Amino acid sequence: MPSRLALCLSAAAILTVTPVALPVEGAIGTAHAAANLSGTATGPSGLPLPRFVSLKSSRVNLRIGPGLNYAIDWMYLKSGLPMEIIQEFDNWRRVRDPDGTEGWINQSLLSGKRTAIVAPWQRGKPALVALRANADETSRVVAELQPGVIGTIDVCNGDWCRMEFGAARGWLKQSIVWGAYPGETIED
């Protein structure tokens, strides 16, 4: 498990992750089938698996199993952080965060609001990402974004996503964000 205490998303938004316990292999047992990650399946909720959601609350516990009796593995302190739901059990969702950490969160703490992180794999590097006025590489640059900044997805056409970052609104290549699948379309 990576040792991390704070993960800088931008100068204005910081996600703090606090390790509380170590994960236990096999804690969930065989009663919970693994999600089919090779393609979209339907979970017990009737919604597709996997799928992206975001954290509703600014304080969310990630547990090692689907229930309050399981130890807390991480604590997220940033609402709007995108999460990928990969499994469902009752009212618990097994999620993966942008760093690949997996665990269980109660569905009441998750929102269907789509958010995404700009190039999280580039965090800490000096490169900036151009937010464009239109879905075109030659379009005017509206803003330059630091890798790791979180924005709200308005629409995605399968190749580009129109997103909002505070007062800045524009288009990013879909391949440069974590929070929308390659080729996925998202409508208003």
pLDDT in tens, 87-108: 999 999 999 999 999 999 999 9
Is 13 a domain residue?
Answer: yes
Judge whether 32 lies within some domain: no
Rounded to whole angstroms, how far apart are CA atoms 186 and 52? Answer: 11
- The answer to whether position 34 is within a domain reads no
Count of domains in the chain?
Answer: 2
d(CA 129, CA 141): 10
The burial class, CB within 10 Å (0-12 / 13-18 / 19+), for 4 is middle
One domain for residues 94 and 140: no
Half-sphere exposure of 161 (CA within 13 A, CB side): 26
Domain boundary among the residues 113, 139, 172 is at 113
Residue range(s) defining the domain that contains residue 81: 6-22+40-113
> Does 58 share its domain with 109?
yes
Please indicate, yes or no, whether residues 58 and 147 belong to a single structural domain of this protein: no
pLDDT, average across residues 151-178: 97
Give the per-residue pLDDT at 9: 31
Based on the fold, state whether residues 89 and 127 are members of the same structural domain: no
Task: Of 123, 111, 125, 185, give the one whose Cα is nearest residue 154.
Answer: 185
**Helix or strand holding residue 84 (H, E):** strand 82-89
Are 56 and 144 contained in the same domain? no
Contact of 53 with 21, CB cutoff 8 Å: no
Residue bearing tokens 């030659």: 138
For strands 6-8 and 14-16, give the pairing. Answer: antiparallel
Q: Are residues 123 and 92 in the same domain?
A: no
Asked whether residue 49 carries a pLDDT value surpassing 90, the answer given is yes
Question: What SS3 state is found at 101?
Answer: coil
pLDDT at 124: 87
Contact 100/108 with Cβ under 8 angstroms?
Answer: no
Q: Is 183 helix (H, G, I), strand (E, B) or coil?
A: coil
CATH number at residue 79: 2.30.30.40
Is residue 1 assigned to a domain?
A: no
Please indicate, yes or no, whether residues 96 and 151 belong to a single structural domain of this protein.
no
Residue 160 and residue 30: Cα distance in Å, rounded?
39
Q: Are residues 141 and 91 in the same domain?
A: no
Looking at 85, 113, 141, the residue that finishes a domain is 113
124-131: list long-range contacts, CB under 8 Å, 24+ apart.
124/8, 129/172, 129/176, 131/163, 131/165, 131/168, 131/170, 131/171, 131/172
> Is the pTM above the cut of 0.85?
no
Structural domain includes residue 69: yes
DSSP state of 17: B
Domain assignment of residue 149, yes or no: yes
Residue 178 lies in a domain: yes
Band of the pLDDT at 39, cuts 50, 70, 90?
low
Which of 13, 15, 53 is closest to 145 using CA atoms?
A: 13
31 within domain boundaries: no
Whether residue 181 has pLDDT greater than 60: yes
